[in-house]
Chains A and B, each alone.
Chain A
Amino acid sequence: ATPPASRSLRGSVSLGDEAVCPGIEAHDRAWRGGAELLFDGVKKHQVTLPGQEEPWDIRNLLVWIKKNLLKERPELFIQGDSVRPGILVLINDADWELLGELDYQLQDQDSILFISTLHGG
């Protein structure tokens, strides 16, 4: 049997809050703007992370996101080895600060949501 650390992990990475805009039509996306512009216009990504020796944590996930999902202007999303200040990270709807932030070890079917707080309201 394969030890857990080298099995691939599946989950989702979401940007902004798809859940709060139910039923949004495709044509509305023309002005939705927001973070998904950095990610090829896609708000929710189903992700499979390849199995590897080291366990997957948020720190590694960000590196992976930068390499595989982020299409432009990485500095708007990532700063150093973390997210830009002002970006909230929710892991399964919980504040990542409660779960160890970058050190949180990803588990299968985890859902990671990034929400920006950096705009007027």
Chain B
Amino acid sequence: PPRSAPPATRRAPPPPPALGPRAVCGACFCAAFEAEVLHTVVAGRLLPPGAVVAVGASGGKDSTVLAHVLQVLAPRLGISLRLVAVDEGIGGYRDAALAAVRRQAARWELPLTVVAYADLFGGWTMDAVARSTAGSGRSRACCTFCGVLRRRALEEGARLVGATHIVTGHNADDMAETVLMNFLRGDAARLARGGGLGSPGEGGALPRCRPLQLASQKEVVLYAHFRRLDYFSEECVYAPEAFRGHARHLLKLLEAARPSAVLDLVHSAERLALAPAARPPAPGACALLDGLNRGRPRLAIGKGRRGLDEAGPPRDGEPERAPAPEAVPAF
């Protein structure tokens, strides 16, 4: 992929083009990035003309770049955009991120709708879920809940704004990490569902896709840098204990040894076809909430895997331990 080179006025001209990645200036890099996203959307017929597209906006680098690029491409694609932000109810983190989204909405002049877990899920904020699932001392299960609940929340928000499609900012690194996570945890349900550029929408859900899926995390950050995009760069307070961290670490090591590993993993997942017997349905928001409300939160997330996350029946009298979230450097 093309990468940035020094501006010609300040330093010696960039080295002549060689085989492999080209050295280009920042402006050309951004143009190439936008062209790549356009190609992904058009070739995959992901967002037809007339589509009302709900953009999952977290204030972070990926959704910021996604919204910006789609705004640039919107006239060519004939689509209109609505921002949908999800408030999971994470103290010390989400309020600040939402402030960033509000600034962005104002700057882009795009309508913004915020949907909150507390409203949608009977008062269950992520902080409450985290307290409810704490205790095993292993990787946090609350992130597993958050992924499923956020998916549902985004769906609700998209319907509220009359969207026909949902887009999220997942990049190639995210997709590769997810593939690794699913393999490492024997999560056949998610492996079966995961591949491909988008889901047509299971069981009446809106079609959703990930236009940045073939862009590396590095390219996303570089684009945001060259376009001077304002985004929120703190890590979620629960992220340090999430299982994804292991997959990310492994992926970084692999990438150092074999740079194409990231995209290779994404392509492998696309081509994966599981035998019907190996494809249990992934538990949805209802199953997870049911488990939470019954005081047996790990019950639902154990399904579809080998039950590796089953912590066993809840122990009566076990004191609730609230997490002590602090801002963590994004490094």
CA separation between A116 and B331, bound complex, in Å?
Answer: 6
Q: Which of these, A37, A95, A116, contacts B327 with CB under 8 Å?
A: A37
Considering only residues 9-64 of chain A, those with a C-beta below 8 Å from chain B are 16-17, 19-21, 31-35, 37-38
CA separation between A45 and B239, bound complex, in Å?
Answer: 29
A85 touches B222 (CB 8 A): no
Q: Which of these, B226, B233, B327, contacts A16 with CB under 8 Å?
A: B233
B330 touches A116 (CB 8 A): yes
User: What is the size category of the interface that chain A forms with chain B?
Assistant: 35 or more
Question: Nearest A residue to B328 by beta-carbon distance?
Answer: A33
Residues of B with C-beta under 8 A to A20: 224-225, 228-231
Residues of A with C-beta under 8 A to B220: 117, 121
Task: Give the total of B residues in contact with A, Cβ under 8 Å.
Answer: 49
B224 touches A98 (CB 8 A): no
Considering only residues 44-80 of chain B, those with a C-beta below 8 Å from chain A are 58, 60-65
**A35, A88, A99, A120 — most chain B CB neighbours (10 Å):** A120
A77 touches B331 (CB 8 A): yes
Q: Which of these, A37, A88, A93, contacts B329 with CB under 8 Å?
A: A37
CA separation between A20 and B7, bound complex, in Å?
Answer: 19
Check if B96 is an interface residue, CB within 8 A of chain A. Answer: yes
B330 touches A93 (CB 8 A): no
Check if A92 is an interface residue, CB within 8 A of chain B. Answer: yes
CA separation between A73 and B330, bound complex, in Å?
Answer: 12
Q: Which of these, B3, B14, B218, contacts A117 with CB under 8 Å?
A: B218
Considering only residues 192-244 of chain B, those with a C-beta below 8 Å from chain A are 217-218, 220-222, 224-226, 228-231, 233-236, 239
B4 touches A93 (CB 8 A): yes
Q: Which of these, A19, A85, A87, contacts B253 with CB under 8 Å?
A: A85
B10 touches A38 (CB 8 A): no
Known contacts A93-B26, A94-B5; A33/B225 CB under 8 A: no
Check if A115 is an interface residue, CB within 8 A of chain B. Answer: yes
CA separation between A14 and B314, bound complex, in Å?
Answer: 48
B330 touches A119 (CB 8 A): yes
CA separation between A86 and B229, bound complex, in Å?
Answer: 19
Check if B264 is an interface residue, CB within 8 A of chain A. Answer: no
Question: Nearest B residue to A72 by beta-carbon distance?
Answer: B329
Residues of B with C-beta under 8 A to A98: 3-5, 14-15, 23
**Inter-chain pairs besides A33-B329, A93-B6, A115-B221, 4 sampled, C-beta below 8 Å:** A31-B234, A86-B248, A98-B15, A119-B330
- Pairs A–B under 8 Å by Cβ, sample size 22: A17-B225, A20-B225, A20-B228, A31-B96, A33-B233, A33-B328, A35-B330, A38-B331, A77-B331, A84-B331, A86-B252, A90-B225, A91-B6, A93-B26, A95-B222, A115-B225, A117-B61, A117-B218, A120-B235, A121-B61, A121-B63, A121-B64
